[in-house]
Amino acid sequence: MFQKILIANRGEVALRIHRACREMGIRTVAVHSEADANAMHVRLADEAVCIGPARSTDSYLNKSAIISAALITGADAIHPGYGFLSENADFAEMVEEHGITFIGPTAEQMRLMGDKITARQAAIKAGLPVTPGSPALESVEHAIEWAHKIGYPVIVKAKDGGGGKGMKTAFNDEEMREAFTMAKAEAKASFPSDVVYMEKYLQKPRHIEMQVLADKYGHVVHLGERDCSIQRKNQKVIEESPSPALNAQQRKEIGETVRKAIEQIGYTNAGTLEFLYEDGKFYFLEMNTRLQVEHPITEAVSGIDIVREQIRIASGAELGYTQDDITFSGHAIECRINAENPETFTPCPGKVTEWHAPGGLGIRVDSEIYSGYSIPPFYDSMIAKLIVSGKTRNAALMRLRRALEEFVIEGVPNTIPLHQEIISQAEFIDGQYNIHWLENYMKNHQK
């Protein structure tokens, strides 16, 4: 097992990784920008190294500085968390070349599944259901040609995309001209490549994903599904597990399909396969070759510490259990709480003057915020994740309502009121929602 792990991230995920390491008796190294000198994970880690100025390009995306910090402190592994360099194959390669273990899949696996076009090809080969789609699009004319083959509406996507960037829908040729141009421009500004492709646009789907774990010896398990359909501009807002849309048979079938696909692909470590689900059918969307923000709800219903398993697998350990050994119990829901105006979603960094996290049975708060902490304006606006679990979905909803009432964050506007509003709506209570529900609700509400 590793003796010391460098955490190449910030915020709540850095603290989450630190906690898993400490429970395993592993020492930690926190890297941080100048703006994060007082962050909680920096204060709790065994060692801390400043790797650059506030801008992420000069610090958390600075590959050389992070590897230098690992070498200086004698870290024998690096955990990238999510975001930043977590799915950067070049970084994973650099880490391994310096004799340090990268906690995640191999660079080759990352490239295969991180490129949405090759991931789609690999998914088809592995027997996963996919939506009708195109190869890389070379021009507007090429895009229109493929749109006619597939049939409108379609969605143009950046092959290296994520977070809703580089995604544009089109319902006719005129809209396609604009969608193609805008998607390529966004891709060029946000990702290594401006290559885009196209898929059939499903109009009322749910977003359902499957969590997997795979060791280096060919053993693969899935940890059930998460429903991430409460979204705004393709950004997840609330997630729950299991999905209220699936029955036991559907859950078993998609789980086994995913497990066999991961076996065939030869993937290792933790990963998540994302699907769109409509009219009883699944369509592969993409694979995230890293830890997911919403992993705590899977931990709540499966009882498995996913970060601990990531570390064990990277160290060369076997899973030590099979799919038959995994049991799921109860229901869990996660709310992503951001320092944003709850109506306009404008980021609102600033000083947290009062902080009181809810507690009690079945409640978990992942955050590194504390009273007096100043939220820097340079990074993502998510400041906390509230995770609740109960024996039933209704029990979890009642607990969530109470926890949101108890949660106090003063000094900065935040999205707690939005979550309270969402979970009070009949459609959410009944589990009758799709990926467009929240935006449609807010559009109607604002009128």
d(CA 13, CA 10): 7
- Are 265 and 112 contacting, i.e. CB atoms less than 8 angstroms apart? yes
User: What pLDDT score was predicted for residue 103?
Assistant: 98
The pLDDT value recorded for residue 201 is 92
Question: Rounded distance, CA 177 to CA 197, Å?
Answer: 14
Q: Report the alpha-carbon distance of residue 271 to residue 313 in Å, rounded.
A: 12
What's at 437, amino acid-wise? W
Give the long-range contacts of residues 249-257, CB within 8 A, separation 24 or more. Answer: 250/280, 251/224, 251/225, 254/208, 254/210, 254/225, 254/282, 255/210, 255/222, 255/224, 255/225, 255/323, 257/127, 257/128, 257/129, 257/282
The closest of 300, 284, 311 to 18, measured between CA atoms, is: 311
List the helix and strand counts (H, then E) for the chain.
15, 20
What is the reported pLDDT for 196?
Answer: 95
- SS3 state of residue 3: coil
pLDDT on residue 252 = 95
Q: Please report the beta strands in 348-442, taking only residues with DSSP state E, as ranges in sequence order.
A: 350-351, 354-356, 363-366, 374-375, 382-390, 408-410
* Per-residue model confidence (pLDDT) at position 343: 87
How does DSSP assign 262-321, residue by residue? HHHHT--EEEEEEEEEETTEEEEEEEE-S--TTHHHHHHHH---HHHHHHHHHTT-----
List of E strands, 342-410: 350-351, 354-356, 363-366, 374-375, 382-390, 408-410
Handedness of CA 419, 424, 426, 430 (dihedral sign): positive
Which residue of the set 251, 290, 312, 336 is catalytic?
290
The structure's pTM equals 0.92
Q: In the structure, what pLDDT confidence band is assigned to residue 116 with cuts at 50, 70 and 90?
A: confident
Look at strands 77-79 and 101-102 and give their pairing: parallel
| Tokens (6 digits) for 75 | 């870290």
- Is residue 214 within 8 Å of 222, Cβ to Cβ? no
Q: Cα 103 to chain center, whole Å? A: 16
Mean pLDDT of 114-135: 92
DSSP-derived secondary structure letter, 37: T
Structural domains in the chain, CATH included, are 4-103 (3.40.50.20), 132-200 (3.30.1490.20), 206-446 (3.30.470.20)
Q: What is the mean pLDDT of residues 294-305?
A: 98
Point out the least confidently predicted range of 129-133, 138-142, 387-391.
129-133
What is the reported pLDDT for 234?
86
Q: Identify whether 290 is a catalytic site residue.
A: yes
Q: For 359-403, how does the pLDDT look when each residue is reduced to its tens digit (9 = 90+)?
A: 999 999 999 999 999 999 999 999 999 999 999 999 999 999 999
Residue 260, pLDDT > 70, answer yes
DSSP run (H or E) holding 434: none
The β-bridge relationship of strands 220-232 and 235-241 is antiparallel
155-185 pLDDT, tens digit each: 999 988 776 788 999 999 999 999 999 999 9
Q: Considering the chain, what is the average pLDDT of its residues?
A: 96
